Amino acid sequence: MALLNRLCHIGFHVPERQQLASDLVCKFGFELFATRVGEWRRQLAFRRGGAIFVVNEKLQPVSGKAPPISSSGHSMDGGMLYDVDPQHAVSTASNICFEVEDVPGISQSLQERGCRILISPTTVADEDGSVTYSVVRSIVGNISHTLLDRTQYYGPFLPGFHVVKSALEKLQGAKENTYFDHITYACPQGSSQAVLEWYKNCFGFQRFFVHSQDKAAEGYRIQGGGVGLQLSAMRHCRNGLTLLDQQDCKFVLAESLPEQRNNQVDTFLKQHGGAGIQHVALYTTDIVETIAAMTKSGASFFKPPVTYYTEKNKEQEIQQAGQDLQLLKDHGILLDAEVVGEGDSNGPAHHRKQYLMQIFTKPLFTEETFFFEFIERHGAEGFGEGNVRALWKAVQNHMDQQ
């Protein structure tokens, strides 16, 4: 199986003049720090802390020309590096790039396991060194994975990109600790187990449980009150050890239950044209300050039903966490606490509370297909299972009004 060192960046594919690039900078506080312009594509690299997005903008064709198409159906675009064109009808987040070592060996191993290699091992170099990469097709929808060896590269990003020096100097002086917390896939009903097995066999991901009622074969099912959702989670382990903090890559698989109708997972599958990345969660050390700044800059967020903050024990839960109820309410931030038992067989168990805070943006594209989650953790390792119903209803109310 492929040993992954870390998650490097996530790639988007959007048409020219789509608002994503502008929104990343103006609304969400990312810095454009590297660019590359080809005949058919403009590639823009944005960074906030340790989180990097590469936006591939499809340029308008010149004189009726169109990029040639490979036998695999992807455009052979000399203007694009480190990715493939998914030939998707709508804007999409579709590439997750992992840093690895021995790209040729890993690619051969994956091919022997039946994986589709979309780009064979390729080396690109400039005055700062060289990188080798390949691209493999995921079992999920239009998702692909770039496998990148940059151990012999000493530049600020990747060969072929022009670095925006003023932005890079600003970023190097920043101390913000933003990074990718998890990535959620929207999957068709009944497909999660196959996805879990594929990532386990190919990349060494391991299943982990997000709730005491999480079952190995079924995942964590949330039913009732208009909610019918199944969640399964996996994380990448290296040499039997779970990677920590920003190097701990976690995927969440979301699928609707048969009795749930007109929900956001099925809406994603319909509007996106199949399975894919529904949202990316970004960790932040101060969610209240972060969301306040983003809201002031024009970002839009889902807010839970007004009854959320008056639910039984919710006010006490927020106060015990040392958070300001009114501030969370003003910004629509949700808090979910986990009670963890401590003690030994010789004495009574003591309990400590771990918690997380989270919020979702409204969709970033014209379609209801992609959004960000911002999350602040204080020991809690789950995904806010206690908040799922409130978030689900908030998203559902938004969809019903469209």
The pLDDT, as a whole number, for residue 339 is: 62
Which pLDDT band, with edges at 50, 70 and 90, does 152 fall under? very high
Q: Do residues 263 and 346 touch, judged by C-beta distance below 8 A?
A: no
Q: What is the pLDDT of residue 2?
A: 66
pLDDT in tens, 380-393: 877 777 677 777 66
Of 30-39, 48-57, 309-318, least confident by mean pLDDT is 309-318
The pLDDT tens digits of the residues spanning 38-66 come to 877 899 999 999 999 999 998 876 655 66
d(CA 220, CA 209): 8
The string over 56-88, giving b where at least 16 C-beta atoms fall within 10 Å of a residue's C-beta and e elsewhere, is bbbbeeeeeeebeeeeeebbebebbbbbbbbeb
Walk me through the domains of the chain, giving residue ranges and CATH numbers: 6-176 (3.10.180.10), 180-400 (3.10.180.10)
**First-to-final CA distance of the chain:** 44
State yes or no: pLDDT of 83 exceeds 70: yes
**Residue predicted with more confidence, 223 or 270:** 270
3-class SS letters over the chain? CCCCCEEEEEEEEEECCCCHHHHHHHCCCCEEEEEEECCCEEEEEEEECCEEEEEEEECCCCCCCCCCECCCCCECCCCCCCCCCCCCCCCEEEEEEEECCCHHHHHHHHHHCCCCEEEEEEEEEECCEEEEEEEEECCCCCCEEEEEECCCECCCCCCCCEECHHHHHHHHHCCCCCEEEEEEEECCCCCHHHHHHHHHHHHCEEEECCCCCCECCCEEEEEECCEEEEEEEEEEEECCEECCHHHCCEEEEEEECCCCCCCHHHHHHHHHCCCEEEEEEEECCCHHHHHHHHHHCCCCECCCCHHHHHCCCHHHHHHHCCCCHHHHHHHCCEEEEEEEEECCCCCCCEEEEEEEEEEEECCCCCCCCCEEEEEEEEECCCCCHHHHHHHHHHHHHHHHCC
Give me the mean pLDDT over the 202-226 stretch.
76
- What confidence score (pLDDT) does residue 27 get? 96
Q: What is the pLDDT of residue 343?
A: 45
Q: Has residue 119 got a pLDDT over 90?
A: yes
Q: Are strands 276-283 and 179-186 parallel, antiparallel or unpaired?
A: antiparallel
pLDDT reported for residue 21: 94
Q: Cα–Cα distances in Å, from 245 out to 110, 282, 289?
A: 27, 12, 21
On the question of pLDDT at 240 being above 60, the answer is no
Bigger pLDDT: 209 vs 159: 159
Give the pLDDT confidence score for residue 324 in this predicted structure: 94
Mean pLDDT of the region 170-179: 66
pTM of the model: 0.89
Q: What is the pLDDT of residue 172?
A: 58
76 pLDDT tier (thresholds 50, 70, 90): very low
Interatomic CA distance for residues 319 and 322, integer angstroms: 5
* 184 token code pair: 């959620």
C-beta separation of 160 from 126 below 8 A: yes
* Nearest in space to 199 (alpha carbons), one of 239, 252, 121: 252
Q: Is the pLDDT of residue 162 over 50?
A: yes
Q: What is the mean pLDDT of residues 204-223?
A: 76
Per the CB < 8 A criterion, the answer to whether 146 and 11 are in contact is: yes
pLDDT at 344: 45
pLDDT (0 to 100) of residue 80: 85
If pLDDT is split at 50, 70 and 90, which confidence band does 138 have? very high
Give per-residue pLDDT as tens, 244-268. 444 578 999 999 888 766 678 888 9
State how far the alpha carbon of 255 is from the alpha carbons of 11, 219, 227, 266, in Å.
23, 10, 12, 8
Contact between 15 and 61 (Cβ < 8 Å): no
Lowest mean per-residue pLDDT among 128-132, 173-177, 218-222, 342-346: 342-346
* Averaged pLDDT of the chain: 84
